[in-house]
Amino acid sequence: MIKFQNVSKVYGNDTKALENINLKIDDKEFVFIVGYSGAGKSTLLKLLTHEETPSSGKIIVNSVDVVSLKKKQISYFRRTMGIVFQDFRLIDKMSVFDNIAFAMRVTGVPEKKVKERVPYILGLVGLQDKGDRKPVALSGGERQRVGLARALVNNPATIIADEPTGNVDPALSYEIVELLNEINLRGTTVIMVTHEHSLVKRFNRRVVELHGGKITSDTGKINSKALIKDEFKKVPPFQANKRAYKIKNASSHSQKVEVSK
Amino acid sequence: MKTGSMRYLIKEGFNNIRGNFSISLSSVVILICCLFLTGVVVVISAISNQALRVVEAQNKITVYLNSDIPESDALLIGSKIQEISNVSECNFCSKEKTMEKFSYVVPADVFDLLEGHNPVEPSFGVSMKDLSKYDETSNELKGIEGVESITDCAEWAKKLTHFNNAFSYVKICIIVMVILVSLFIISNTIRVTMYSRRREISIMKSVGATNLFIRVPFIVEGIVIGLIAAICASGALKIAFELLLRMIKDLAPVVSIFEGPTWSLYSAFIGMGMLCGVLGGTFSIARYLRTEGGEVFG
């Protein structure tokens, strides 16, 4: 569970980025954070990842008081979340496989586990045949899926997506959010910052709107179980089966996925 | 840290060097020059100390007579010198004998310029019984008629001591400067590598890599640059000293007694190179991680 209690953030030049934010996100929720530029969306994410600390208030993530974390604890805390960036942040000289493996290697995961886990995650995002390609050889949507795979590979409790559809065309945007939706349905909390109202409308999920550093509206929690049924109604049976297979197997990290063609 | 992780980090350190090869190479070259300069200063200082010890070990005074003095008069002066109570030994060296000694060390064409003229002075090599009576004995020698000048080892020893003292300050200044320059060069090289890898560092931060994990490849890079520079500088110093020795050996056979760069100097070089690498790497990455390197979303 993520909890913001009376959180305010004022930057050095007296800019009020966030003002008295009270927000509670339950486990396994999918939340869209929307708002215009300068509304405080990025500051909210920075506070959540401890890149910034609040000027006042408390932030609790899975019973951990984020504000009082010691310097050495921050890196371990960040391992509980996966971050998806708008600009993908892939390393061009590395292959797709190595880009994903990189996230595991830097946290000291043994190479044997890396070799087991990465193909599984690649299958999960539908890039099982593209592990040896370089990011430049991929489309925008595919690159973002690599970014998503990297965020997922360490099995985080929360995925934070900072405008993940900002650099892809509308059709692929849908695909990316669909993938995040799938990840959420298998039990991962997803917080997605976006400008795209069309996407927000299409995926009937909780929406928190920020304006001038304050929460101006919050649709509240949406029943995920009801959503799963709705989601399955929307897609053809074959796709639904494929998704069910992925969701069922997602909890077993060592298992390799064989995605139907 | 696990062995597998350490292997990965060391590999990354070498990748850093390969990725910024031209900058790493120029850093190595500058460091070689810095360390070579330090080596030259240290070797000059060591030679000067050795020379001082050699001079101090001798208690001989050379008494020069007027160049036109006949040999019979010179021998009379010799007997006067022998009469001085503190003189234990007095050996005459005629103009011809001195010239003959010169002929071993001075090229033959120099003698052609003299056209048979012998400009050197006859001299006596005088040894003392008691060195504490040095000043009295020296004054007595100067007072003998026909004595032109005296050159004693104590004068040389004094001069060498002055030189050594002055040079030790210069040596310390040069070594401190070289260390600072080395640190600056290594830090800058590592900063360039860091900026070229800032995307990777930001990703590392976002996935929860510890600061130590991020630092190690850059420290490895610093150590490798320092180590390569130290090895090359040691080799260059050894070659340069041996070449110099070979060149001046014919002119002054006495230089062969001087000991050149020693293994302790080479070890110090390697230690210094590696230490500069560790410090340069640690400082620059720590500063970077405290500021812009700590950003995840940017």
Domains of chain B listed by start with CATH number: 3-55+158-294 (no CATH), 67-145 (3.30.70.3040)
> What is the Cα–Cα distance from A38 to B146, expressed in whole angstroms?
101
Note the ipTM here: 0.74
Question: Measured between CB atoms, does A214 come within 8 Å of chain B?
Answer: no
Checking if the pLDDT of A200 tops 60, the result is yes
Minimal Cβ distance to B297: which of A46, A78, A111: A46
Please provide the DSSP assignment of chain A as one string. -EEEEEEEEE-TTS-EEEEEEEEEE-TT-EEEEE--TTSSHHHHHHHHTTSS--SEEEEEETTEESTT--HHHHHHHHTTEEEE-TT----TTS-HHHHHHHHHHTTT--HHHHHHHHHHHHHHTT-TT-TTS-GGGS-HHHHHHHHHHHHHTT--SEEEEESTTTTS-HHHHHHHHHHHHHHHHTT-EEEEEES-HHHHHHTT-EEEEEETTEEEEE-----HHHHHHHHHHHS-HHHHHHHHHHHHHTT-TTSPP----
Mean predicted lDDT score pLDDT of chain B: 81
Angle in degrees, 0-180, between the axes of helices A71-78 and B198-207, rounded to the nearest 10: 80
Q: What is the DSSP letter of B132?
A: G
Question: Taking CB atoms and an 8 Å limit, are B296 and A51 in contact across chains?
Answer: yes
What does the pLDDT read at residue B58?
A: 66
User: Is residue A237 one of the residues assigned to a domain?
Assistant: yes
Domain count of chain A?
A: 1
Name the residue facing A106 among B1, B4, B213 (closest C-beta).
B213
Q: Which of residues 59-88 of A touch B (CB under 8 A)?
A: 71-72, 75-79, 82-83, 85
Q: For residue B14, give every residue at least 6 positions away whose Cβ sits within 8 Å of its Cβ, in sequence order, or none.
A: B220, B221, B224
The whole-number pLDDT of residue B1 equals 63
**Residue-wise pLDDT tens digits, A102-116:** 899 888 888 899 999
How close is the nearest chain B Cα to the Cα of A239, in Å?
Answer: 31
Residues of A in contact with B296 (CB under 8 A): 46, 49, 51, 78, 83
CB contact under 8 A, B209 and A162: no
Lowest mean pLDDT among A44-58, A177-191, B133-147: B133-147
DSSP H helical ranges for B144-152: none
CA gap A46, B298 in Å, rounded? 9
Residue-level pLDDT at A116:
94
Choice between B96 and B275, residue whose per-residue pLDDT is larger: B275
**Confidence (pLDDT) at A261:** 30
Q: Is the pLDDT of residue A134 over 90?
A: yes
What band does A222 get if pLDDT is binned at 50, 70 and 90?
Answer: low
Given this model, what pLDDT does residue B56 score?
65
Using a CB–CB cutoff of 8 Å, tell me whether B21 touches chain A: no
CB A70 within 8 A of CB A244: no
Tell me the chain B residues in contact with residue A162 when contact means C-beta distances shorter than 8 Å. 297
- CA of B279 to nearest chain A CA: how many angstroms apart? 21
pLDDT of residue A131: 94
Full residue range of the structural domain in which residue A78 is found: 2-249
Residue A55, pLDDT score: 95
On whether residue A254 sits in a domain, the answer given is no
Most confident of A17-26, B37-46, B136-145: A17-26
**Do A89 and B203 lie within an 8 Å CB cutoff?**
yes
In a domain, A257, yes or no: no
Between A246 and B205, the higher pLDDT residue: B205
Tell whether A256 is covered by a domain.
no
- Which residue in the set A49, A76, A108 is minimally distant from B5, CB to CB? A108
Backbone angle region of B49, left / alpha / beta, with phi > 0 → left and psi within -120 to 50 → alpha: alpha
What the block records as the tokens of B88 is 């234990």
Question: What would the two tokens of residue A230 be?
Answer: 């709705």
The count of other CB atoms within 10 Å of the CB of residue B162 is 10
Shortest Cα distance, chain A CAs vs residue B229, angstroms: 29
Residue type, B117: H
Q: Is residue A255 part of a domain?
A: no
Task: Note the pLDDT of residue A9.
Answer: 95
Do A179 and A127 meet the contact criterion of CB atoms below 8 Å apart?
A: no
Residue B58: in which H helix or E strand, if any? none
Q: What pLDDT digit, counting tens, does each position of B45-82 carry?
A: 888 777 777 766 666 788 888 877 888 888 888 888 88
Q: According to the model, what pLDDT value does residue B153 have?
A: 66
The Cα–Cα gap between A122 and A116 comes to: 11
Instruction: Give domain status of residue A235, yes or no.
Output: yes
Q: How many residues does chain B have?
A: 298
Q: Is the pLDDT of residue A226 over 60?
A: no
Q: How far apart are CA A228 and CA B67, in angstroms?
A: 118
CATH code, A188: 3.40.50.300
